[in-house]
């Protein structure tokens, strides 16, 4: 259990990014002030479904949640994406990180569609693009960077959750893309909110 999950206990509901309709999602989100979209596709054992799974989850399903948030009057949407999502725009399509990540059914290309959809939605948003995810506690200091600047780096899932929750209430993060990783050259610190 993370600090982030403890702070939200009783206020969380897991939604199905593929199966839920926009109408059912809208109904579920009524009265919510914020929405964090943090999903990732998993084709299971059928690797032939990788492209379909990426399209269903990273693109169509995520866009459904954005539409539902707008319909429900949600004030802020935080979307967890990935570094290199817009890698083609700054010449990173041949970088090892882009090639490896996008090999999973074109996941980065599908994420880019939903990022653009969120930007055009008129909602207050923050797009959080973490580096590679680690399933352990932070070991380095949080580094927050501008859009399209990181092509490598790793970060604890716990720290991504902390940053995402902080973005819900930080007006300085509004309508921005934050690329984050842990700077292993600096000691980890307790996360106390964003420093923009």
pLDDT, position 8:
56
Phi first, then psi, for residue 45 (nearest 5°) are -85, -10
Q: Output 11 or 89, whichever has higher pLDDT.
A: 89
CA distance 90 to 109: 14
> Within 13 Å, how many C-alpha atoms sit on residue 43's CB side?
16
Q: What is the mean pLDDT of residues 146-158?
A: 96
Estimate to the nearest angstrom the gap between the alpha carbon of 5 and the chain centroid: 16
CA distance 165 to 154: 19
Which residues, including other chains, have CB under 8 Å from residue 165's CB and lie 6 or more apart?
A: 4, 7, 8, 36, 78
Q: Count the neighbouring beta carbons within 10 Å of the beta carbon of residue 10.
A: 4
Please name the helix (run of DSSP H) or strand (run of DSSP E) that holds residue 96, with its range, or none. Answer: helix 96-102
Q: What is the mean pLDDT of residues 78-84?
A: 98
In angstroms, the Cα distances linking 28 to 6, 14, 75, 102 are 21, 10, 15, 32
Domains and CATH numbers, the chain: 3-183 (3.40.50.720)
CA distance 26 to 70: 8
The tokens describing 195, both together, are: 């420093």
Closest to 58 in 3D by CA, of 116, 97, 111, 129? 111
pLDDT, position 73:
98
For 123-143, the pLDDT digits (tens) are 999 999 999 999 999 999 999
Contact 145, 196 (CB under 8 A): no
pLDDT, position 187:
82
The tokens describing 194, both together, are: 């964003």
On the question of pLDDT at 50 being above 80, the answer is yes
On the question of pLDDT at 12 being above 90, the answer is no
On the question of pLDDT at 22 being above 60, the answer is yes
On the question of pLDDT at 59 being above 80, the answer is yes
The confidence band for 92, taking pLDDT boundaries of 50, 70 and 90, is very high
Single pTM value for the model: 0.90
In angstroms, the Cα distances linking 30 to 18, 24, 34, 73 are 19, 10, 10, 7
Q: What is the mean pLDDT of residues 149-177?
A: 95
pLDDT, position 196:
55
Cα end-to-end distance, the chain, whole Å: 27
């Amino acid at each position: 259990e993370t600090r982030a999950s403890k702070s939200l206990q009783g206020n969380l509901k897991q939604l199905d990014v593929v199966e839920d309709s926009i109408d059912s999602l809208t109904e579920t989100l009524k009265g919510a002030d914020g929405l964090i979209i943090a999903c990732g596709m998993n084709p299971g054992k059928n690797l032939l479904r990788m492209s379909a799974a990426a399209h269903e989850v990273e693109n169509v399903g995520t866009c459904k949640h954005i539409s539902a948030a707008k319909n429900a009057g949600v004030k802020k949407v935080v979307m967890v994406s990935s570094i290199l999502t817009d890698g083609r725009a700054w010449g990173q399509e041949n970088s090892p990180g882009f090639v490896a990540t996008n090999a999973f059914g074109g996941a980065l290309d599908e994420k880019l569609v939903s990022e653009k959809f969120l930007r055009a939605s008129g909602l207050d948003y923050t797009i959080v693009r973490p580096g590679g995810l680690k399933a352990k506690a932070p070991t380095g200091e949080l580094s927050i960077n501008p859009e399209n600047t990181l092509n490598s780096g790793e970060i604890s899932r716990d720290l991504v959750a902390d940053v995402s929750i902080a973005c819900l209430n930080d007006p300085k993060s509004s309508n921005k893309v934050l690329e984050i990783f842990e700077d292993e050259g600096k000691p980890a610190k307790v996360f106390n909110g964003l420093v923009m």
